[in-house]
Structure 1
Amino acid sequence: MDNPQTVAAQIRMRLPSLTPLEGKVAADILARKDITADTPLREVAEKSDVSEAMVVKVAKKLGFAGFREFRRGLIDYYHSGSAALHSEISADDTSGEIVQKVFRTAMQALEETFAILDLDAFNRAADFLHQAQQRDFYGFGGSAQIARDVSHKFLRIGLRSSVFDDAHMMMMSAALLGPKDAVIAFSHSGESAILIDAVELARKNGARVIAVTNYHDSSLARAVDVVLCSTAENSALLGENATARIAQLNLLDALFVATAQRDRVAADANLRRTMNSVVQKRRK
């Protein structure tokens, strides 16, 4: 992991592949800010109440060669500007402190999501959306709001899409898709069984499927053609998924622009037409 900004994000993305105990160990270590180059393996193991072998095992499952590389990665990350952006909100914070902490946490999510972005996957996703005959977007709750925002932007440039936030409607959509169609499935956890069922049916029928999720090793990520990951540090009050949505909105804005660039002449022409239709309805 050459970029220090990616260390925490890569760890978070791999959490679903860990057992509950391994996940606890990873979370314990990630939460520590006092690890130095002299911190021994023994101390880290004792603080998590596990064996030294368990810490080494967790480090390897998280993508490091061993504990020393894991320790070095964490030290580099904690000295990066991205890590310094996050601060927990406390009950005694003033309004000014709350605003600063919320904004800085969102900035951290944006910086780390940008750092881990797979540009090859991003370009494949833009190609799928540009070439698609039908574009269906799946998501529940807050994810559905992101889907609607993206669908609105695509309509502005003449690319029609449909948003489904109901389980039965998703399945009916998936049943009617084919090789010329594309799906974007939004899920923070990547473990929504209903969403995965719809995605698997869509792929069975030949549609290309893009996942927007927080976990690269999630069940959803393993079931699609392309994975675009967002990342955010968990916050007791805001929650991890709330902050990750900020990153997802920006990620999808970029994907919208990249898709429009595939045929910029048509996109600009359709944008003028749709914007003019709205402007004419405004009161003078």
Structure 2
Amino acid sequence: MTLALDDPKTIGPRIRMMMPTLTPLELRVVDGILARTDFGPDTSIRTIAEDAGVSEAMIVKIAKKLGLKGFRELRAGLIIYNKSPTAELHQDITPQDSDAEIAQKVFRTSVQALEETLSILDPAAFEQACDLIFHARQRDLYGIGGSAQIARDISHKFLRIGVRTSMFDDAHMMLMSASMLGGGDVAIGFSHSGTTTAVIEPLALARQRGARTIALTNFANSPIAAAADVVLYSTAQGSPLLGENAAARVAQLIIFDAIFAAVARRDLVAAERNLAATMGAVTAKRQHK
């Protein structure tokens, strides 16, 4: 994935998405750079290098590893990003925060995740994912832990409009599922880190068997991305307490809310008919006054 500076909201998330490719030293340097709020046109590479305790050549190397031409492009992007309203949304939670302040910070971090995820959403990948899901004969969803809850929510949504899916959150069952897939089928893997082997392995097996594969992850160049025909990315800037998963989970759910709506639109008559049927089936389970 290459970085683009045409939208100021993209530079922060795109850098974060590339961070797993960095060494521990490079990661420490980038963390320090992202924490700076004093970036200006006159900020020199020498200043950054001295503050980080590394050479100027190392700063240039890191910038290129992040997909940029060099330090000047990195500096220009961060100047724009740090001034954007989206960047200002995120604030770390501190022990001094009141409950009301914590609630506000958590909500603002989720809003930031949604804004930035939308800014990096690849329209072509989104449309391809919708087409694959709509036309698939069998749709198997794979996720572990928190990602399993996202997959389960998505499976529920699709069932409401008659789009049948099977959701698996057990490593053995996922592999068994993948071994039964083939041409015309779709496997969808959910992994925030992109490194969960229990999800990567069945996704790769499904692809080997001829099925098309879709991955939803937070990081570019992650192992799960290499196992997928289509990759959709979320992004979130977490806090030490919440981590990235909390805000990323919101962004990932919204990505598939949008996919759900786009898939339904492809045959709106059938979607509305099936929605009426599934809603009617559970009406008796609700209390009425």
Give the TM-score, by structure 2 length.
0.96
- The alignment's C-alpha RMSD in Å is 0.9
SS in 2 for 1:39: coil
Residues 1:163 and 2:167 aligned together: yes
Map 1:39-78 onto structure 2 (within 5 A).
Answer: 39-78=43-82
* Structure 2: gaps spanning 5 or more residues: none
User: Where does residue 241 of structure 1 map in the other structure?
Assistant: 245
* From 199, 208, 220, the counterpart of 2:224: 220
Structure 2 distance, partners of 1:78, 1:14, is 18
Residues 1:90 and 2:79 aligned together: no
1:272 Cα deviation (Å)?
0.6
1:63 Cα deviation (Å)?
1.8
1:281 Cα deviation (Å)?
2.9
1:234 Cα deviation (Å)?
2.5
1:12 Cα deviation (Å)?
0.9
1:24 Cα deviation (Å)?
2.0
Residues 1:175 and 2:179 aligned together: yes
Query: Could you list the per-position Cα deviations for residues 23-72 of structure 1 after superposition, in whole angstroms to 9, with x for gaps in the alignment?
Result: 22222211211221111101101111111001011111112111111001
Residues 1:186 and 2:181 aligned together: no
Query: Which amino acid counterpart does residue 19 of structure 2 have in structure 1?
Result: L
Query: Could you list the per-position Cα deviations for residues 226-283 of structure 1 after superposition, in whole angstroms to 9, with x for gaps in the alignment?
Result: 0000000121111111211010011110011111111111111100111111113323
* From 11, 16, 22, the counterpart of 2:26: 22
Structure 2 distance, partners of 1:17, 1:237, is 24
SS in 1 for 2:252: helix
Structure 1 distance, partners of 2:259, 2:25, is 37
- Aligned sequence identity (%): 58
Moved over 4 A (4+): none
Structure 2 distance, partners of 1:70, 1:281, is 56
Give the TM-score, by structure 1 length.
0.98
Structure 2 distance, partners of 1:162, 1:42, is 55
Residues 1:272 and 2:276 aligned together: yes
Structure 2 distance, partners of 1:111, 1:153, is 23
Residues 1:200 and 2:201 aligned together: no
1:200 Cα deviation (Å)?
0.8
Residues 1:146 and 2:167 aligned together: no
Structure 1 distance, partners of 2:253, 2:62, is 32
Equivalent residue pairs, number: 284
* From 261, 270, 283, the counterpart of 1:257: 261
SS in 2 for 1:244: helix
SS in 2 for 1:280: helix
Structure 1 distance, partners of 2:91, 2:52, is 23
Which 10-residue stretch deviates more, 219-228 or 17-26?
Answer: 17-26
